[in-house]
């Protein structure tokens, strides 16, 4: 059973990682906590939904997914990036405001995204019209139930994260982005066009979020609240990794996603459930059972613990 949880944790954390990298990038370069990030993921998911409905399967299939789905994935990434850039240009860019005001504005933006999607598609759950697959036979003896779709999600996330790593480490843009995250004023006086770098940050961050949204829709279902519901997990991941650190966000996203899917294991731990029988002075019937409904609450507890012990996160510099 634990192997199965680990496998689904891997799939789920790929999605969280895609969301948290973008949030962390925007946090460090645009310098505010973007509460609309979760809903940017929703935008990507629904853009892919529309595109997939329009182009259809296009024949052929990779890992159980028709080629048309990959077209839809690209469309989701592009639309999420375009929407984010438009929002930046129309709303955030003209505001002469500090990070706190931008933060409050971003929650308004989140509602606007969600409301428009809900008006267009209704509040109900939908699915991509992709054939649901049976779990891969070869892994069943080990108790692991993953489909080819799950493998596709993990592989695509790896490709995206890998190319981001290459971009950040070896390209000119990546060096400029790192410089700007480090010290925006110094970057500016060194001749870096910070406006342009900021725009690219929005494109990359929102694009990754869009892909995360598409995969989330494939992994679960689509609903207008899907991204907002994920926001708490993504923020927990970013804080755990250290705000502003992209690699921290990857690690944080991986851990939060894993822990989230491993929650059922908690109810199997005898120490917690039979605490009354094991400890003296406590009634025998006493026990803590943490059901899967508290998966998000665990992320919150981790986040608060990190803020208490090491507010700069794993990868952040200690104060």
User: Which residues in this chain contact other proteins in the complex, by CB under 8 A?
Assistant: 32-33, 35, 91, 94-95, 97, 99-101, 103-105, 107-116, 118-119, 123, 224, 231-232, 235-236, 239, 291, 293-294, 296-297, 299-300, 303-304, 307-308, 311
Closer of 148 and 273 to other proteins (Cβ): 273
Closer of 143 and 291 to other proteins (Cβ): 291
Closest approach, Cβ 247 to other proteins, in A, equals: 20
Rounded CA-CA distance 67/73 in Å is 10
Cβ pair 163, 186 in contact under 8 A:
no
Closer of 29 and 160 to other proteins (Cβ): 29
Question: Phi, psi at residue 130, to the nearest 5°?
Answer: -110, 140
DSSP-derived letter for residue 309 is H
Closest approach, Cβ 149 to other proteins, in A, equals: 28
Closest approach, Cβ 64 to other proteins, in A, equals: 34
CA distances from 62 to 66, 67, 89, 145, 192 (A): 6, 7, 37, 19, 41
| C-alpha closest to that of 205 among 34, 8, 54, 75 | 34
| C-alpha closest to that of 151 among 161, 137, 136 | 136
Rounded CA-CA distance 3/1 in Å is 5
Place of tokens 């851990």: 255
Closest approach, Cβ 229 to other proteins, in A, equals: 9
Closest approach, Cβ 222 to other proteins, in A, equals: 15
């Amino acid at each position: 059973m634990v192997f199965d949880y680990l496998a689904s944790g891997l799939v789920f954390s790929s999605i969280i990682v895609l969301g948290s990298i973008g949030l962390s990038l925007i946090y460090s370069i645009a310098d505010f906590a973007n509460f609309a990030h979760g809903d940017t993921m929703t935008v990507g998911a629904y853009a892919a939904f529309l595109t997939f409905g329009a182009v259809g399967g296009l024949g052929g299939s990779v890992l159980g997914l028709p080629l048309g789905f990959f077209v839809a994935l690209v469309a989701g990434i592009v639309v999420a990036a375009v929407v984010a850039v438009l929002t930046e240009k129309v709303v955030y860019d003209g505001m002469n405001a500090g990070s706190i005001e931008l933060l409050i504005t971003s929650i308004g933006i989140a509602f606007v995204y969600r409301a428009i999607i809900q008006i267009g598609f209704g509040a109900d759950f939908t699915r991509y019209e992709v054939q649901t697959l049976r779990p891969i036979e070869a892994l069943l003896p080990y108790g692991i139930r993953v489909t080819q779709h799950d493998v596709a999600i993990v592989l695509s996330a790896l490709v995206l994260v890998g190319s981001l790593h290459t971009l950040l480490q070896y390209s000119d843009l990546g060096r400029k982005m790192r410089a700007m995250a480090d010290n925006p004023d110094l970057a500016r006086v060194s001749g870096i066009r910070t406006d342009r770098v900021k725009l690219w940050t929005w494109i990359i961050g929102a694009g990754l979020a869009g892909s995360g949204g598409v995969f989330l829709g494939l992994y679960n279902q689509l609903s207008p609240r899907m991204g907002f519901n994920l926001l708490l997990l993504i923020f927990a991941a970013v804080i755990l990794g250290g705000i502003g650190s992209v690699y921290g966000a990857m690690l944080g996203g991986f851990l939060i996603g894993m822990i989230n899917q491993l929650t059922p294991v908690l109810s199997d731990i005898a120490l917690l459930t039979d605490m009354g029988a094991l400890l003296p002075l406590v009634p025998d019937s006493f026990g803590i059972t943490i059901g899967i409904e508290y998966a998000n609450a665990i992320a919150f507890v981790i986040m608060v613990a990190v803020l208490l012990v090491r507010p700069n996160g794993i990868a952040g510099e200690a104060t």
